[in-house]
Homo-oligomer: A and B are copies of this chain.
Amino acid sequence: MNIDNKLPWLLQKKHIAHIEGDHLLIGDRRRYPWEHSYVACSSVAQIAQAIAEMVTQGGGPLQVGLTTMRFLAKKIEAGHESNALTSFASAVELLAAARPTNTTMRRTLERFLKHLQPWYANDSSQKSLITFVGSIIDAIEAGFDADYQQMSDHGSLLITNNAGILTTCFAEHTFILSLIKAREQGKNFTVYVPETRPYLQGARLTAPALVELGLQVQLITDGMGAHFMGQGAITHYMTAADVVAMDGTVVNKTGTLANAICAQYYQIPYTVFAMSPDPSIHTASDIVMEERDGKEVLYVNGKLTTLESITGRYPAFDCIDPALISHIITPKGLAFPHEIDSLYGQREK
| Chain B residues, CB < 8 A from A204 | 305-306
Say yes or no: is A303 at the interface (Cβ < 8 Å to chain B). yes
Closest to A193 in B: B310
Q: Are B222 and A197 in contact (CB under 8 A)?
A: yes
Say yes or no: is A223 at the interface (Cβ < 8 Å to chain B). yes
Say yes or no: is A262 at the interface (Cβ < 8 Å to chain B). yes
Closest to A195 in B: B305
Closest to A306 in B: B203
Chain A facing B: main interface SS? mixed
Given contacts A203-B298, A211-B309, contact A221 B33 (CB under 8 A): no
A263-304 contacts to B (CB < 8 Å): 264-265, 294, 297-298, 300-301, 303
Given contacts A211-B309, A257-B230, A262-B258, contact A221 B198 (CB under 8 A): yes
Given contacts A218-B312, A223-B197, A305-B300, contact A265 B254 (CB under 8 A): no
Q: Are A305 and B200 in contact (CB under 8 A)?
A: yes
A200-257 contacts to B (CB < 8 Å): 200, 203-204, 207-208, 211, 217-228, 230, 254-257
Say yes or no: is A39 at the interface (Cβ < 8 Å to chain B). no
A117 to chain B, nearest CB (A): 41
Say yes or no: is A96 at the interface (Cβ < 8 Å to chain B). no
Q: Are A306 and B208 in contact (CB under 8 A)?
A: yes
Say yes or no: is A100 at the interface (Cβ < 8 Å to chain B). no
Q: Are B255 and A265 in contact (CB under 8 A)?
A: no
Considering the chains assembled together, what is the distance between the CA atoms of A224 and B194 in angstroms? 13
Say yes or no: is A315 at the interface (Cβ < 8 Å to chain B). yes
A262 to chain B, nearest CB (A): 5
Say yes or no: is A318 at the interface (Cβ < 8 Å to chain B). yes
Given contacts A208-B306, A318-B226, contact A220 B297 (CB under 8 A): yes
Q: Are B203 and A33 in contact (CB under 8 A)?
A: no
Given contacts A258-B258, A261-B261, A311-B217, contact A306 B222 (CB under 8 A): no
A residues at B contact (CB < 8 Å): 33-34, 168, 192, 194-198, 200, 203-204, 207-208, 211, 217-228, 230, 254-259, 261-262, 264-265, 294, 297-298, 300-301, 303, 305-307, 309-315, 318-319
